[in-house]
């Protein structure tokens, strides 16, 4: 009787492992399979405008509400975009939402005020409280003209570029000196220490304008898509999206197999 119980224990354990692998994977409605996750709060129109622009470049985009963020939505993604409407100053989502995005290790593009607030939650120098807000602007002054965002445009440093047809509000970051982890890409005025396009750790980029693609000029849309291409290529060279999840599952299964092996060995000895 004792032997039968032990055999039953092994049978149940083996069945548990099989269930782990044969359980249907979540449907696309449950688990987005897009290359890029765009997070918005109230402005779905602008979110869809960004989706249309980016998908015209050949990437897929999933739009997720800031209130619906869970870790699973990022498993198959390679890039996260934080919409301008997702936060303000020190306010952005909740701790679990911030952690879910941060844990992906994906590059992040923060747009306008929402991006500024989010990067502040990460404790970055390109986030709150290091910014100065402005009410209306449509141009940039090129600083780091070798940055990939300027691919195929070949501007010289200190050249002014009109990237919005309709002036936009936004936020600039005070950064008086460049460092190894900060790229001063563009400001709005030559010689200014406030930067409207700025990058930290080569994976977090603040696009300081609030305005969406329909407000941009053709040149502005080109620059934004250059940024998308740059970060998507960066992600593809850094590993498989969600690979850490597969590692966790594999280690868990390996641990169960070791336990079963030891149990089975004991039964044979008896």
pLDDT of residue 23: 41
Report the predicted TM-score, pTM, of the whole model to 2 decimal places: 0.78
pLDDT on residue 223: 98
Predicted pLDDT at 158: 87
pLDDT at 241: 46
Same domain, 95 and 220: yes
Q: What pLDDT does 220 receive?
A: 98
Q: From CA 37, how far away is CA 62, in angstroms rounded?
A: 5
The confidence score (pLDDT) of residue 238 equals 54
207 shares a domain with 162: yes
d(CA 72, CA 208): 28
pLDDT in tens, 96-129: 999 999 999 999 999 999 999 999 999 999 999 9
Residues 6+ apart with CB under 8 A from 187: 140, 141, 143, 172, 193, 194, 195, 196
- Do 37 and 141 belong together in one domain? yes
* In a shared domain, residues 90 and 63: yes
For the cut 50, the answer to whether the pLDDT of residue 230 exceeds it is: yes
Q: If DSSP codes are grouped into helix, strand and coil, which group holds residue 1?
A: coil
Kindly state the average pLDDT of the residues 184-204: 95
Give every CB contact of residue 104 below 8 A, 6+ residues apart in sequence.
Answer: 71, 74, 77, 80
The total domain count for the chain is: 2
Mean pLDDT (the chain) is 84
**DSSP code string of 140-209:** EEES-TTSGGGTTT-PPTT-EEE-BSS-EEEEEEE--S-BTTEEEEEESSTT-SEEEEEEETTTEEEE-B
Residues 128 and 2 in one domain: no
Q: Are residues 26 and 45 in the same domain?
A: no
Same domain (yes/no): 84, 103: yes
Of the two residues 244 and 191, the one the predictor is more confident about is: 191
Q: Residue 157 has what pLDDT?
A: 85
Q: What is the CATH number of the domain that holds 51?
A: 3.40.50.880
pLDDT per position as a tens digit, 154-182: 788 889 999 999 999 999 999 976 678 99
Q: At what angle do helices 44-55 and 218-236 cross, to 10 degrees?
A: 70
Determine the pLDDT at residue 31: 52
* Residue (of 124, 123, 204, 197) closest to 164 by Cα position: 197
Whether pLDDT at 29 is above 70: no
Q: What end-to-end distance do the CA atoms of the chain give, in Å?
A: 13
Q: Are residues 138 and 252 in the same domain?
A: no
231 and 105 fall within a common domain: yes
134/158 same-domain check: yes
Pick the range with the lowest mean pLDDT from 51-60, 81-90, 224-233, 254-263. Answer: 254-263
Q: Are residues 74 and 171 in the same domain?
A: yes
Residue-number span of the structural domain to which 141 is assigned? 33-236
2 with 121, same domain? no
- C-alpha pair distances (Å), 230 with each of 121, 204, 205, 235, 248: 24, 12, 11, 9, 29
């Amino acid at each position: 009787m004792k032997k039968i119980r032990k055999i039953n224990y092994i049978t149940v354990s083996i069945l548990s492992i099989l269930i782990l692998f044969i359980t249907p994977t979540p449907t696309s409605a449950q688990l987005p399979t897009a290359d890029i996750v765009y997070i918005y709060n109230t402005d779905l129109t602008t979110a869809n405008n960004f989706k249309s622009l980016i998908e015209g470049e050949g990437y897929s985009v999933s739009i997720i509400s800031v209130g619906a963020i869970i870790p699973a939505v990022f498993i198959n993604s390679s890039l996260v975009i934080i919409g301008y409407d997702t936060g303000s100053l020190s306010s952005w989502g909740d701790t679990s939402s911030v952690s879910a995005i941060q844990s992906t290790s994906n590059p992040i593009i923060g747009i306008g005020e929402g991006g500024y607030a989010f990067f502040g939650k990460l404790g970055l120098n390109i986030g709150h409280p290091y910014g100065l807000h402005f009410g209306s602007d449509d141009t940039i002054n090129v600083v780091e003209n070798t940055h990939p965002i300027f691919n195929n445009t070949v501007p010289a440093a200190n050249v002014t570029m009109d990237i919005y047809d309709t002036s936009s509000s936004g936020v600039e970051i005070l950064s008086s000196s460049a460092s190894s982890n900060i790229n001063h890409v563009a400001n709005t005025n030559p010689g200014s220490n406030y930067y409207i396009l700025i990058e930290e750790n080569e994976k977090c980029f603040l696009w300081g304008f609030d305005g969406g693609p329909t407000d941009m000029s053709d040149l502005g849309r080109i620059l934004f898509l250059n940024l998308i291409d740059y970060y998507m290529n960066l992600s593809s060279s850094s590993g498989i999206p969600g690979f850490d999840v597969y590692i966790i599952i594999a280690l868990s299964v390996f641990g169960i197999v070791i336990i079963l092996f030891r149990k089975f060995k004991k039964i044979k000895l008896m």
